[in-house]
Amino acid sequence: MTVELISVGTEILLGNIVNTNAAYLAEQCAALGLSCYYQTVVGDNEERMEATIRQAVSRSDVVILTGGLGPTKDDLTKEVTAKVFGRELYEDPHSRARIEEYFRRGHAGKVTDNNWKQAMVPEGAKVIDNDNGTAPGLILEGEAIAILIPGPPNEMKPMFDKKIAPYLNALQPEGIYSRMVKICSVGESRAETMIADLMDQQTNPTIAPYAKTGEVHLRVTAKAKSEADAEALMEPMLQELKSRFGDRIYTMEEDVTLEEAVVRLLEEKHFSVTTAESCTGGLLAGRLMNVPGASSVYKEGFITYSNEAKERLLNVNRETLVQYGAVSPQTAIEMAQGVAKVAGADAAISVTGIAGPGGGTKEKPVGLVYIGCYVNGRVHVEECFFHGNREKNRESAVARALTFLRNELLHE
């Protein structure tokens, strides 16, 4: 079965926003066993949208459109798709009631007349409730299937995961089922080399690697008549991956993040943790705070960008800063030890480095980062070299810090 993606929005064409929706949907559709040959971005223009949608439904089994379902006049996706399918629009009482309830709960102030536009749906369409906004999703079935999903990622992703993906999976004679194996402490090239023979021999199930910042994800996918049959097909492959990667696998659950795995490990050991950050400026603490319930292990953290702050808040020795500099293994160690003592924590992680674009030297280039890790009186330090822009270097440092902390906790 073929799927085609159409992203609607002039703001995407102008580069005002990055089209993350298409990347996400392409990956998810591939995991469902759907073949994607075309992806298109079209602006908020009725004539061009109609031509794009007509071409898509003529060559693909399923067309997924994101964006253009809002309440304003330039939101035309629903209207143009209905025209292509020869359907009239009518007001859906169920959708109107949900919009009323959304505003009644105080999510968006007073309801305005143009919001009722979102309750208009094409005849014969399946309405997909939006649990995170006002615009419902829609499925129109004909010679091809058109699936309309709201554009905001925080509405699009949960709607696709919970409601669209199961619908697509049910369309196929055999279901597509998958498991995600998430790995840290191994680079993409090394991970792919370690599974090259498995990839060469794959039939059903299959295995596909996906590189993430500081991580590698391996998706194992099986085609079978039932989920139980698929699990039986995937189990030998999963066991083989466990054998090859060992404790570098931090989860085999789709929704578990690296920071969640770290928090759960801290909870298991009844450890508290604190952070001391320089170049990452709170990103590490933010990743940990993304985890629901992280307050059970994380009490406080420090952003010590200046040398004065490192001395005053973390008790880093001035002599250390003068002799070795703020970006040094010695400073990273003292930051980790100092913040653990100040916070009274069992574990601590420190980050100091040169994120760029300036500030680097021949001896200490941009991308040099030192990470200190303190666990129950033991402290170790890692020297890292990252190659990217400022944002990428900071993200890479955070990912490496989480991995470093996890590894130290595993050996505690």
SS3 for 160-211 is HHHHHHHHHHHCCCCEEEEEEEEEECCCHHHHHHHCHHHHHHCCCCEEEEEE
Identify whether residues 162 and 179 lie together within a single domain. Answer: no
Looking at the structure, tell me whether residues 298 and 210 fall in a common domain.
no
Percent of the chain surpassing pLDDT 90:
90
pLDDT classification of 336: cutoffs 50, 70, 90: very high
Q: If pLDDT is split at 50, 70 and 90, which confidence band does 102 have?
A: confident
User: What local confidence, expressed as pLDDT, does residue 225 receive?
Assistant: 87
Express each pLDDT in 11-25 by its tens digit: 999 999 999 999 999
272/405 same-domain check: yes
Q: Are 204 and 174 in contact (CB under 8 A)?
A: no
- pLDDT category of residue 74 using cuts at 50, 70 and 90: very high
CATH number, domain with residue 216: 3.30.70.2860
Residue 31 confidence (pLDDT): 83
pLDDT digits (tens, 9 = 90+) for 124-140: 999 999 999 999 999 99
**19 shares its domain with 161:** yes
Q: Return the pLDDT at 346.
A: 98
In this structure, the answer to whether residues 110 and 188 fall within a common structural domain is no
- On whether both 398 and 266 belong to a single domain, the answer is yes
Residues 232 and 270 in one domain: no
The domain boundary residue, chosen from 251, 266, 284 = 251
Which CATH number covers residue 45? 3.40.980.10
Q: What is the pLDDT of residue 328?
A: 98
How far from 297 is each of 317, 344, 347, CA to CA, in Å? 28, 12, 10
Q: How confident is the model at residue 106 (pLDDT cuts 50, 70, 90)?
A: low
Please state, rounded to an integer, the average pLDDT across all residues of the chain.
95
CATH number for the domain harbouring residue 327: 3.90.950.20
Q: Which of 53, 43, 51 is nearest to 142 (CA)?
A: 53
268 in the same domain as 192 = no
151 lies in the same domain as 17: yes
Q: What are phi and psi of 59, to 5 degrees?
A: -125, -5
Q: Report, as an integer, the average pLDDT of 178-194.
A: 94
Question: Can you give the pLDDT at residue 174?
Answer: 85
Tell me: do 106 and 166 sit in the same domain: yes
CA distance 282 to 300: 11
Which pLDDT belongs to residue 172?
Answer: 85
User: Which tokens in the block code for residue 357?
Assistant: 């674009």
Give the domain-ending residue among 194, 222, 251: 251
- The residue segments making up the domain with residue 152 are 2-170
Q: What is the pLDDT of residue 299?
A: 87
Give SS3 for 408. helix
Task: Looking at the structure, tell me whether residues 332 and 374 fall in a common domain.
Answer: yes
- What residue type is assigned to position 176 of the chain? I
Per-residue pLDDT averaged across 229-245, rounded?
Answer: 97
To which H or E segment does residue 138 belong?
Answer: strand 137-141
Question: Residue 119 gets which letter from DSSP?
Answer: G
Find all residues with CB under 8 Å of 216, minimum gap 6, and list them.
182, 183, 184, 186, 187, 188, 191, 209, 210
244 and 291: one domain? Answer: no
Other beta carbons within 10 Å of 353:
27
What pLDDT does residue 376 have?
A: 96
Instruction: Provide the domain count of the chain.
Output: 3
pLDDT value of position 41: 98
Contacts of 325 (CB under 8 A, 6+ apart): 331, 364
Q: In the prediction, which pLDDT does 109 show?
A: 64
Output the pTM of the full model. 0.79
369 near 279, Cβ under 8 Å? yes
Among residues 138, 170, 202, which one ends one of the domains? Answer: 170
